[in-house]
Amino acid sequence: MTDSKQKTILSTRDVHLWYGKKEALHGIDLDFPEKGITALIGPSGSGKSTYLRAINRMHDLEDNVTVTGSFNFNGTDIYAPTTDTVDLRKRIGMVFQQPNPFPFSTYENVAFGLRLAGVKDKAVLDEAVEKALKQASVWDEVKDTLHKSALGLSGGQQQRVSVARVLATSPELLLLDEPTSALDPVSSHNIEETLLKLRDDYAMIIVTHSMSQASRISDRTAFFLSGDLVEVDETKHIFLNPEKKETQDYVSGRFG
């Protein structure tokens, strides 16, 4: 999975980020291969979520945030003035901590992005919705209630529908911000299974607080601490023989 010869889909260099005058990221260099899962781990305030959100320009919505450095995404400069954020977020999809379906049917939730992109043909939409829900491993559970409100689904099903909604627009990169932290173990397990099925076809970056989740599903793990990238390596190295003492302490649960 982590073939070093793999093409790089996203390359970030010297990424700094300030909230007002407070520097939250101190120059992050990180590359992502075009397939497989990279986990970003670290304590609260380490900058891992801040970094993740910088990738699809979520900070644009906040005042007072300054981002510098280069973000080369398949040849696109993410922060170039000419880059259209709507188009960017179609290519870089994001799944959030809380399942957040829109208050309409499961079908319309998944079709939303395509309709936004101007797809009107019902047959095309039907096919895309089914494909996305299948990829998100939730089709069998929702296929008979596609036109009922997505809010009636369980938390785990809602989260997989959120994944399907993102997949429907055929993104090149998936960002996941603690996608299972609001779910029980069975639902989390289902999400993990879904991600494992997707990792042969997609590049995914997941922020997680669960060390065991990172070790179960990711190919590579990056450890953040106080706004710095301490170490990035194959997940099995991080959990068996990390280079840095800080990484070792954190992954073995030795906190301060």
Partner 1 sequence: MRRLFDEELADLDSSFTEMGMLVSQTIQKAVQSFVDHDREGARKILENDHQINEREAAIEKKTFEMIALYQPVTTDLREIVTILKAVSVLERMGDQARNIANSTIRVKGTKHIANVEKELGEMGEMVASMVSEVMDYYVKNDALGAEAIADKNSILTQSAAKVRTDSVNGMKEDAELVDSAADYLVIAGYLKRIGDYTTDIAEWIVYKRTGKIIELNPGYNFFI
Partner 2 sequence: MTNSNTDLKPASEFIRENAPERFIYNMDPEKHEIALSTHDLQVFYGDNLALSEGDLQFERYKITSLVGASGSGKSTFLRSLNRMNDDVATVKGKIMYRGVDINTKKIDVYEMRRHIGMVFQRPNPFAKSIYDNITFALTSRGNYTKEQLDEVVETSLKQAALWDQVKDELDKSALALSGGQAQRLVIARALALKPDILLLDEPSSALDPISSAQVEDTLLKLKDQYTIIIVTHNMQQAARISDYTAFFHMGKIVEYDLTRKIFTRPKVALTNDYISGNFG
Q: In the bound complex, what is the minimum distance in angstroms from residue 93's beta carbon to partner 2?
A: 25
Between 57 and 216, name the residue whose CB sits nearer to partner 2. Answer: 216
Q: In the bound complex, what is the minimum distance in angstroms from residue 248's beta carbon to partner 1?
A: 5
Shortest CA distance to 96 belongs to which of 170, 155, 175, 172?
Answer: 175
Task: Give the distance from CA 172 to its chain's centroid.
Answer: 11
Query: Can you give the three-state secondary structure of 76-136, one letter per residue?
Result: EECCCCCCCHHHHHHHEEEECCCCCCCCCEHHHHHHHHHHHCCCCCHHHHHHHHHHHHHHC
Between 75 and 185, name the residue whose CB sits nearer to partner 2. Answer: 185
Q: In the bound complex, what is the minimum distance in angstroms from residue 255's beta carbon to partner 2?
A: 5
In the β-sheet with 65-73, what is the strand arrangement from edge to edge?
22-33, 8-19, 65-73, 76-77
Which residue ranges make up the site for partner 1 (CB under 8 A)?
211-212, 215, 239-242, 248, 251-256
Between 36 and 242, name the residue whose CB sits nearer to partner 1. Answer: 242
Q: Which ranges in 14-76 belong to alpha helices (H)?
A: 48-55
Between 27 and 155, name the residue whose CB sits nearer to partner 2. Answer: 155
Please say whether the beta carbons of 50 and 226 come within 8 A.
Answer: no
What's the rounded Cα separation, in Å, for the pair 137 and 167?
12
Select the binding partner of residue 190 from partner 1, partner 2, none (C-beta < 5 to 8 A, by kind).
partner 2
Tell me the two tokens of residue 235.
């997940």
Select the binding partner of residue 242 from partner 2, partner 1, none (C-beta < 5 to 8 A, by kind).
partner 1
Between 151 and 211, name the residue whose CB sits nearer to partner 1. Answer: 211
Which residue ranges make up the site for partner 2 (CB under 8 A)?
43-44, 154-155, 181, 184-187, 189-190, 209-212, 253, 255-256
Select the binding partner of residue 209 from partner 2, partner 1, none (C-beta < 5 to 8 A, by kind).
partner 2
Return the bridge partners of 57, or none. Answer: none
Q: In the bound complex, what is the minimum distance in angstroms from residue 216's beta carbon to partner 1?
A: 11
Query: At a CB cut-off of 8 Å and minimum separation 6, what does 200 contact?
Result: 35
Select the binding partner of residue 145 from partner 1, partner 2, none (C-beta < 5 to 8 A, by kind).
none
Return the bridge partners of 92, or none. Answer: 173
Between 66 and 252, name the residue whose CB sits nearer to partner 2. Answer: 252
Select the binding partner of residue 239 from partner 1, partner 2, none (C-beta < 5 to 8 A, by kind).
partner 1
Q: In the bound complex, what is the minimum distance in angstroms from residue 152's beta carbon to partner 1?
A: 36
